Amino acid sequence: MEQILAQAKRVAEEAEAFMVSSEETPVQFEANRLKHIQSKQSSYVALRIIRGGKIGYATATELGDSQNLVNAAVETAQFGMIAKFELPSLSVYPEIEVFDPKVESVSTEEMINLGEELIATVRGHTPDIVCEAGVSKAIISIHIINSRGGQANYKQSIFSLGVAGHLIRDTDMLFVGESESSCHPLTETKAIAGEVLRQLELAKNRASIPSKPLPVVFTPRGLASALILPLMVAFNGKTVLKGASPIGNRLGQPVFDDKLWLWDDPTLAYRPESRPCDDEGIPSQRTPLIQQGAITNFLYDLQTAALAHTQSTGNGSRNYGGLPAPSPSAFIIKPGNTTFDEMVTDIKEGLVIEQLMGAGQGNILGGDFSGNVLLGYKVESGRIVGRVKDTMVSGNVYQLLKQITAIGSDARWVGGSINTPSLYCPTLSVASK
Amino acid sequence: MTTTQAIAHQLAEVINRYSTDYIEARFEESQTSYISYRGRELDSIGRASAIGGNVRAMVKGAWGFVSFNDFNELPGRVELAIRQAQFAGNEESQLAPAEPVVDTSAMAQDKNPVVIPLAEKKQLLDEYNDIIWHTPKLQTAIIDYGDSYKKVIFLNSLGSYIEQDRADVTLRLTAIATQDNEVQQAGLSLGSRGDFSLIQGRHQQVGQMAQLAVELLSAPQVKGGEYTVVLDPVLAGVFAHEAFGHLSESDFVYENDRVRQIMTLGRRFGSDELNIVDNATIPGLRGSYKYDDEGVPATKTYLITEGKLVGRLHSRETAAKMKEKPTGNARAINYCYPPIVRMTNTYIEPGAASFDELIGDIKEGIYVKNWYGGTTSMEMFTFSAGEAYMIRHGKLAEPLRPVVLTGNVFTTLMNIDGIGNDLEMNQGGGCGKGEQVPLPVSNGSPHIRIRHCLVGGR
Ligand SMILES: [Zn+2]
């Protein structure tokens, strides 16, 4: 790494080397049976240079061939964007715990047991369900150094556990599932299995739903599948910079219901999306995005922030080994004080959305979402009466979140990167056959 | 000899000495370059190179798989893959028989697009971007170019040793037009098996795409309902791939009783005129190869002949489990993943009708073109077309806002009642399955006509 940086400094004004290496062990169950045990080692180094004021970029898996890497970066710098930012010099990073050595020592046997236990519990409830399960542990090391003396170095452990079941009866297909992840080893399957059993119970009966606007409750999973993507795009500093975000010029203004609070938080201990610094070496911070319904911030990396005449929020991310770009870490919606049952009890006729399919297809920039209710329940006179089928919903995130009836007290993690309670909205357009 | 070749040769010498039911290894060297624009300006440009490998072992019906780009501890990694398989295995290993193949002639077949100077690539993209930006009412453009070249060495415990190369070029352009609060977009997806010249000289097409985005702003929305629709080769090809092709992938079929019932060989899926093929043996297409990632020779597989289901796509494992012949469809996106059953070049074979004959007797219908997006959940599909026109009294009439087609896959296949004579292969697609996205494939079709298709506005 130091050698690459030294070579790069000979031909460029500034240089930064980023190296990630990971060891991952996924154990996979298919059709109720253990199918694969894998082990994946990978590493790559990314070199970013500023040469003639322009950004050059190249990556390689082979550290030995540093001259080729430097040459490739030099070639791309001829055409690269003009660098508007300065690489960070040596920074003090917040202490954020993201490594638990116990993850490394979880045995394959223990991982298999967890998967088997999950599947057994789900099939104990519904014998003819077909389950897939995954148990995975990973250790990731990040190392960043740059020509201004900046450097960062940390190790992260990630353990994840999940199960998905599909139940096919005649032409009827039911999909259920739940997953969890942490920087600690997960040793308990109860919560995950319990969530799946809850879905199976609620979906036992079938119910029909009329085609008309109806009150709707998004469960945490439902909200994550339907509403989060348009918000992630809208709060991305790059979308704002391009003038494509519908909230880009509304900083400080109320856009949503004043019960709504949202922030991005990579500083929580032992969460998979947490880290002491982002992929450019900028210290992690908690960034409020919506406070009492008003827009308070957007997410930035160095270059985008410089172009927008603001500061990086420490959200520079190198997805798939590309140049750093703004990306959320963990989106967190503040819980309210209404229980899920209270929301349902309040509804005369309505819909609970547990999982929406195909929500990301429409005009995401405009906040439109529409999709098939892959898993959802009909509410009648304050009670869930059964699962709905062949039901589409469509709406607009900005209209929907302008008026929220209640926010749940049941906040939880959905996947590794979203923490949200249930959300109760007065009306959403529902179409059913 | 390259380092990778040397390592592969060494491993080939000893690979059949391990005590497994089967073991294979794959080594890859790849280079890529990419250029993208967001709006007027270049957004990113870069080069990447990667070297890596994997070992996959089967013991008592279960797989162990180890991938790496550190070659130093190779013997230890081979043993790890075996230990994992031993750990998981508790039934009989089933793999369809395959001949050992020693063949290095498929190397150096493709042109390497990565070595073309970035300046030349950027020049072309600048020209296309200029055309888009010179179109009035255009708000913004998105351009993504990528190319890759990779050499793959495969070897297994049967004694196979295969060297192949694969080149790939993709270019996706999107033009976004706005007026008042309306936003409309049009897109163009191009691709080739490494031949850069095939994406050159498309200036006229790019101009038409930009123009279309603007025209859509003033086009009327279709009245939702059932129509006779005619699909262009692009959309019909995507339909064949997405709605039907994925159901032919046997890893999805063999462990799922319900799908097994639906996909019973001999079952009627369409009219006598309907033939659907997956064919990896056509030279120069993005889905083609000589051997798949299990070292099985590529084949041409009829999925539907004269309307009836006659075949499906297999890996060696799914073929054995379903007691059918392997078809050479086990593919992996790169060395980090084990091969799974995938499509290659999937198409509807041409029939006899001209385009005019297809639309000639339609009193009121819709002509839909181009793929915008969509999802399928086994039986149901929802596709967005990028472009649509009314058909009135047998003639193309006014343009429409993009439409959504939806319905049951099987009913819709049955309702195909006209197949054109103008087969075209679309090289602009990529296929996703699980984490392995996007795999180079192509799909194609002639124009087809579908009766009673549910159409909604987008
Ligand atoms: Zn596909």
Which CA distances in Å does A240 have to A83, A261, A325, B348?
A: 19, 20, 13, 44
Name A205's Cβ contacts closer than 8 Å, sequence gap at least 6: A385, A386, A387
A229 and A146 within one domain: no
Q: Which residue has the tokens 């739903």?
A: A209
Mean confidence (pLDDT) of chain A: 94
Closest residue by Cα to residue B386 from B372, B398, B374: B372
- Give the number of C-alpha atoms closer than 13 A to the C-alpha of residue A376, restricted to the C-beta side: 30
Burial of B8 (0-12, 13-18, 19+ CB in 10 A): buried
Q: How far apart are CA A344 and CA B300, in angstroms?
A: 55
CB contact (8 A) between residue B377 and residue A72: no
Pair (A242, A185) in one structural domain: no
Average pLDDT over residues B53-70: 95
Q: How high is the pLDDT of residue A220?
A: 97
A164 plus A246 within the same structural domain: no
Q: Are residues B56 and B83 in the same domain?
A: yes
Does the bond joining B438 to the residue before it have cis omega, within 30 degrees of 0?
A: yes
Kindly list the residues from chain B whose CB atom is less than 8 angstroms away from the CB atom of residue A57: 44-47
pLDDT tens-digit series, residues A243-287:
889 999 999 999 999 999 999 999 999 999 999 999 999 999 999
CB contact under 8 A, B64 and A37: yes
Pairing of strands B62-68, A172-182: unpaired
pLDDT at A361: 61
Contact A39 B80 (CB under 8 A): yes
Would you call B47 and A374 a contact, using CB atoms and an 8 Å cutoff? no
Residues B234 and B99 in one domain: no
Q: Name the nearest CA neighbour of A287 among A251, A309, A269, A314.
A: A314
User: How far does residue B286's CA lie from ligand 1's centre (Å)?
Assistant: 14
Report the C-alpha gap between A409 and A406 in whole angstroms: 10
- Specify whether B107 is located in the same domain as B207: yes
Residue A410 burial (10 A CB sphere; 0-12, 13-18, 19+)? middle
Q: In what order do the strands lie in the sheet with B276-279?
A: B308-309, B300-305, B276-279, B345-348, B442-445, B424-426
Q: Which of B432, B404, B422 is nearest to B337 (CA)?
A: B432
Per the DSSP assignment, residues forming a β-bridge with B443 are B346, B426
Among the residues of A170-227, which ranges form H helices?
190-202, 220-226
Residues A177 and A267 in one domain: no
Could you tell me if A275 and A414 lie in one domain? yes
Interface test with B, best of A4, A20, A36, A365 (most B CBs within 10 A): A36
Task: Report the C-alpha gap between B431 and A15 in whole angstroms.
Answer: 36
- The Cα B304–Cα B429 span in angstroms is 22
DSSP letter (8 states) at residue B69: S
> Do A216 and A262 share a domain, yes or no?
yes
| Interior angle at CA A353, CA A351 and CA A356, nearest 5 | 135
Q: Which of A155, A174, A199 is the last residue of a domain?
A: A199
Q: Specify the residue for token string 């945490």.
A: A220
Give per-residue burial for A368-391: e unless 16+ CB within 10 Å, then b. bbbbbbbbbbbbeeeebbbbbbeb
| Percentages (nearest 5) of helix, strand, coil residues in chain A | 20, 40, 35
Our measurement of the distance from residue A7's CA atom to the centroid of its chain's CA atoms, rounded to an integer in Å, reads 37
pLDDT at site A359: 67
Do residue B74 and residue B211 come from a single domain?
yes
| Nearest CA distance, B350 vs chain A (angstrom) | 31
List, for residues B244-289, the tens digit of each pLDDT value.
999 999 998 887 777 888 899 999 999 999 999 999 999 999 999 9
Check whether residue A178 and residue A227 sit in a common domain: no
Q: For residue A182, what is the domain's CATH number?
A: 3.30.2290.10
Q: Mind telling me how many Å the CA of B43 is from chain A's nearest CA?
A: 7
| B233 and B111 belong to one structural domain | no
**What is the predicted pLDDT for the residue at A68?**
93
**Same domain flag for A177 and A257:** no
The alpha carbon of B350 and the centre of ligand 1 are apart by a number of angstroms equal to 21
- Contact list, B380 vs chain A (CB under 8 Å): 372
Q: Mention every residue, 6+ apart, whose C-beta is less than 8 A from residue B150.
A: B28, B29, B30, B31, B165, B166, B167, B334
Q: Report yes or no: B358 and B418 within 8 Å, Cβ to Cβ.
A: yes
Mean pLDDT value of segment A96-100: 98
Say if residue A123 is in the same domain as residue A218.
Answer: no
Last residue of a domain, one of B218, B242, B264: B218
From residue A241, how far is each of A204, A248, A298, A325 by CA, in Å? Answer: 48, 8, 10, 12
List the end-to-end C-alpha distance of chain A, in Å, as a whole number.
60
Residue that is written with structure tokens 């004080």 in the block: A337
Same domain, yes or no, for B52 and B142? Answer: yes
Cα B189 to its chain centre, rounded Å, is 13
How far is Cα B301 from Cα B249, in angstroms, rounded to an integer? 12
Of B48, B64, B258, the CB nearest to A321: B48
What residues form DSSP beta bridges with B374? B383
User: What is the average pLDDT across A360-378?
Assistant: 81
Cβ < 5 A residues, ion ligand 1: B 431
Which range marks the domain in which residue A263 is found?
205-433
3-state secondary structure of B53: strand
Please give the angle made by the CA atoms of B93, B97 and B102, to the nearest 5 degrees. Answer: 120
Complete DSSP assignment for B112-179:
-GGGS-HHHHHHHHHHHHHHHHTSTTEEEEEEEEEEEEEEEEEEETTS-EEEEEEEEEEEEEEEEEEE
Ligand 1 centroid – CA B406 distance (Å) = 18
pLDDT of residue A362: 63
Give distance in angstroms: CA of B237 to centre of ligand 1. 11
> Which residues in chain A are contacts of B117 at CB distance < 8 A?
75
Which of 99-158 (A) contact B at CB < 8 A?
A: 108-109, 112, 130
Asked if the model's pLDDT at residue B449 lies above 90, the reply is yes
Answer whether B52 sits within 8 Å of A43, measured CB to CB.
Answer: no
For residue B327, the SS3 value is coil
Question: Are residues A76 and B118, on separate chains, in Cβ contact within 8 Å?
Answer: yes
Which residue range forms the structural domain that includes residue B80?
3-218
End-to-end CA distance of chain B: 56
Note whether B255 contacts A31, CB cutoff 8 Å.
yes
Domain boundary residue among B198, B218, B238?
B218
B434 or A55: whose pLDDT is higher? A55
* pLDDT number for residue A335: 98
pLDDT digits (tens, 9 = 90+) for A190-246: 999 999 999 999 999 999 999 999 999 999 999 999 999 999 999 999 999 988 899
Classify burial at B232, counting beta carbons within 10 Å of its beta carbon; exposed 0-12, middle 13-18, buried 19 or more: buried
B305 CA distance to ligand 1 middle (Å): 21
Which residue, among B110, B99, B100, has the nearest Cα to B164 in the 3D structure?
B110
Name which of B62, B183, B384 is nearest A35 (Cβ-Cβ). Answer: B62
Give residues 252 to 291 of A whose Cβ lies within 8 Å of B: none
Whether B103 and B186 map to the same domain: the answer is yes
The reply to whether residue A79 touches residue B35, judged by beta carbons under 8 angstroms, is yes
Whether residue A15 is found in the same domain as residue A150: yes
Nearest to B148 by CA among B104, B100, B194, B179: B194
Distance from CA of A178 to the nearest CA of B (A): 17
State the sign of the Cα–Cα–Cα–Cα dihedral B258, B341, B231, B372: positive
Across the interface, whether the CB atoms of A81 and B42 are under 8 A apart is answered yes
User: Where does a domain end: A171, A199, A227?
Assistant: A199
Strand ranges (E), A187-277: 212-218, 262-264
Decide which of B184 and B173 is more confident: B173
B230 and B203 within one domain = no
Which of A175, A199, A223 terminates a domain? The answer is A199
CB atoms within 10 A of CB A57: 25
How far apart, in whole angstroms, are the C-alpha atoms of residue A329 and residue B379?
36
Statement: residue A1 has pLDDT above 60:
yes
Asked if B184 and B231 sit in the same domain, the reply is: no
Q: For residue B242, how far is its CA from the centre of ligand 1 (angstroms)?
A: 5
For ligand 1, the distance from its centroid to the CA atom of residue B228, given in whole angstroms, is: 26
Question: Which residues of chain B are within 8 Å of residue A39 when distances are taken between CB atoms?
Answer: 65-67, 77, 80-81, 84
Report the pLDDT averaged over residues A93-111: 96
The answer to whether the beta carbons of residues A62 and B51 sit under 8 Å apart is yes
A185 and A323 together in one domain: no
pLDDT of residue A416: 87
Are residue A212 and residue A98 in the same domain, yes or no? no
pLDDT in tens, B210-220: 999 999 989 99
What CATH number corresponds to the domain at position B23? 3.30.2290.10
Cα–Cα dist B252/B269, whole Å: 18
Which ipTM score applies to this complex?
Answer: 0.88
> What's the pLDDT band for B402 if we cut at 50, 70, 90?
confident
Cβ distance of A242 and B140 shorter than 8 Å: yes
B84: nearest CB among A39, A41, A357: A39
Q: Which residues of B39-61 are buried (b: 16+ CB within 10 A; e: fewer)?
A: beebbbbbbbbbbbbbbbbbbeb
Neighbour-count burial of B208, counting CB atoms closer than 10 A to its CB (0-12 exposed, 13-18 middle, 19+ buried): middle
Confidence of residue A173 (pLDDT cuts 50, 70, 90): confident
**Size of the A and B interface in Cβ pairs below 8 Å:** 148
Question: What are residue A61's phi and psi, to 5 degrees?
Answer: -90, -15
Give Cα B128 distance to the centre of its chain: 25
Residues of B in contact with A323 (CB under 8 A): 44, 46
Q: What is the pLDDT of residues B228-255, one digit of tens each?
A: 999 999 999 999 998 899 999 999 888 7
Is the Cβ pair B44, A323 closer than 8 Å? yes
Q: Average of pLDDT values for B367-375?
A: 86
Cα B330 to ligand 1 centre (Å): 14
Looking at the structure, tell me whether residues B148 and B187 fall in a common domain.
yes
Which residues of chain B make contact with A361, given a CB cutoff of 8 A? 373-375, 382, 384
**Domains identified in chain B, total number:** 2
Closest CA to B394 of B358, B448, B354: B358
Best interface-test mutation with B: which of A19, A21, A33, A41 has the largest number of B CBs within 10 A? A41
Domain count, chain A: 2
- Cα A99 to its chain centre, rounded Å, is 19
**Interchain proximity B46–A322, CB inside 8 Å:** yes
Query: Which of A320-329, B307-316, B329-338 is least confident?
Result: A320-329
Residue B16 has pLDDT above 90, yes or no: no
Q: Is A323 on the interface with B (CB under 8 A)?
A: yes
Distance CA A306, CA A84 (A): 6
Domain boundary among B184, B218, B252: B218
Q: Which comes out higher in pLDDT, residue A328 or B109?
A: A328
Residues 37-56 of A with CB under 8 A from B: 37-44
Give chain B's length.
458
Chain A: residue whose CA lies nearest to B142: A242
Residues 158-197 of A with CB under 8 A from B: 168, 171, 173
pTM: 0.91
Q: Is the confidence at residue B305, as pLDDT, over 70?
A: yes
In a shared domain, residues B194 and B247:
no
- Whether residues B56 and B77 share a domain: the answer is yes
State the pLDDT at residue B458.
47
Buried b (16+ CB within 10 A) or exposed e, A4-13: bbebbeeebe
Mean pLDDT over the full length of chain B: 93
Q: Taking Cα atoms as reference points, which of B334, B91, B80, B325 lies closest to residue A31?
A: B91
